[in-house]
Amino acid sequence: MMNRQTMIKKHNLIVILISIGASIAIWLNALYKQKNISSVKVLTFHTVSGWGYNILVDDTVFIHQAAIPVINGKQGFAKREQAEKTAAIIINKIKKGESPIVTIFELQKIIPLNEYENDRQGTLK
């Protein structure tokens, strides 16, 4: 019969091996997805409330963003360049195999957020 310390060591080893295996699987999956993308591009468009963008992956619309992400409401970007810069952040994340989400901190580098009010969750109004 195994003593308690031996059982704990065996359990910890199993948990570590499973964690390493899961990490490798996630990394390989991201690498596989990244290699399967042959082209990523942005197309900006004008809306009633400003500018938006489409991100195309292999000539298929992957993201349609008619309003500024992360803020409440349906406010478009004031300038085309702001939409392009925001889309560029997302494209870089897609190419790296990361989640295509723009944070409020990334958005603050592109547009003047002092025009909007922060709510309790850190998103904008």
The string of pLDDT tens digits covering residues 11-26 is: 777 777 677 766 766 7
The one-letter amino acid code at 16 reads I
User: How much is the pLDDT for 121?
Assistant: 42
pLDDT recorded at residue 119: 42
This prediction has a pTM of: 0.63
- pLDDT, residue 36, reads 63
Parts of the chain with a pLDDT under 50: 117-125
Q: Which two tokens stand for residue 112?
A: 């003047």
Structure tokens at 15: 């948990």
Categorise residue 70: left if φ over 0, alpha if ψ from -120 to 50, beta otherwise: left
Tokens of residue 82, six digits: 């702001």
Residue ranges of domains in the chain: 1-36, 40-115
